[in-house]
Amino acid sequence: MNLEQISQNLNIIARRVGNFIKTEGESFDVAKVEMKGFNNLVSYVDKEAEKQLVEALRELLPEAGFITEEETDNTKGERYNWIIDPLDGTTNFTHGLPNYCVSVGLTDGDDVVVGVVYDPNRDECFSAHKGGGAFCNDAPIKVSEAPKLGNALIATGFPYYDFGLTQQYLQVLGSFMGKSHGVRRLGSAALDLVYVAIGRFEGFFEYNLNPWDVAGGAIIVQEAGGKVTKFTEGGDYIFGREIVASNGKIHSEMLETIAEHWKQQLP
């Protein structure tokens, strides 16, 4: 099975699981929310969605291992690994905000080669495989042509449990507010990434992320013509806990803006 076929099948699986999540959300009882840690929410919906994904993906590519947020299966494969966030935007979901998604990436060694992000509320399925371009509901997508940070709308995320770098982050945030059309915080890193890919945002940055937050969306940005790095050029943005994604044209300006105030290097 080639990457295009894997991507097509992954689209079907993500849609099925995403529609399960949306249906559960229509009658969700907030009393069923569990706390994995301070402000780190999880529900039976996250867990069941992940089980459905793991079962279907194990059948799709039996030789692949898994890196999963809810730890349904974290058995690493020798070559291929699925990186799964069954419900990116859990806090939004539990509060009834319709801004969440299913996010899945497939790695071949150190490279992400397939990514899918499905938003069941807008019925938008973003997908890409290495060398094959990026799509939303099978229509090709491209990043914005905005040439400068001054023409850009930027997305970010806020820390929800580790506040040690808050002051540095607020300084960075203030700089972006003064240099761009504005900054938005929607609460789902995976959706922020694919919104860069389709041109709704020109850039996205966030720190203290996990691989399942970004693996699905990062390759979609790249295949849509964008650029993805850490807060500096190079480095492992999948496992490195920080990411900058852009249309490519404003990437240097974004890195420079972050570097003005951000001195902390995450391990």
Q: Which residues are annotated as a binding site?
A: 69, 85, 87-88, 213
Binding residues for Mg(2+): 69, 85, 87-88, 213
Q: For residue 153, list its beta bridge partners.
A: 182
Query: How far lies 87's CA from each of 17, 50, 74, 200, in Å?
Result: 10, 8, 17, 21
User: In sequence order, what are the beta bridge partners of 228?
Assistant: 245
Residue 217 neighbours by CB under 8 Å, 6+ apart: 103, 115, 117, 126, 189, 190, 191, 192, 193, 194, 197, 245
- The backbone region for 39, taken as left when phi is positive above 0, alpha when psi lies in -120 to 50, beta otherwise, is left
Residues 127, 133, 138, CA angle at the centre, nearest 5°?
A: 50
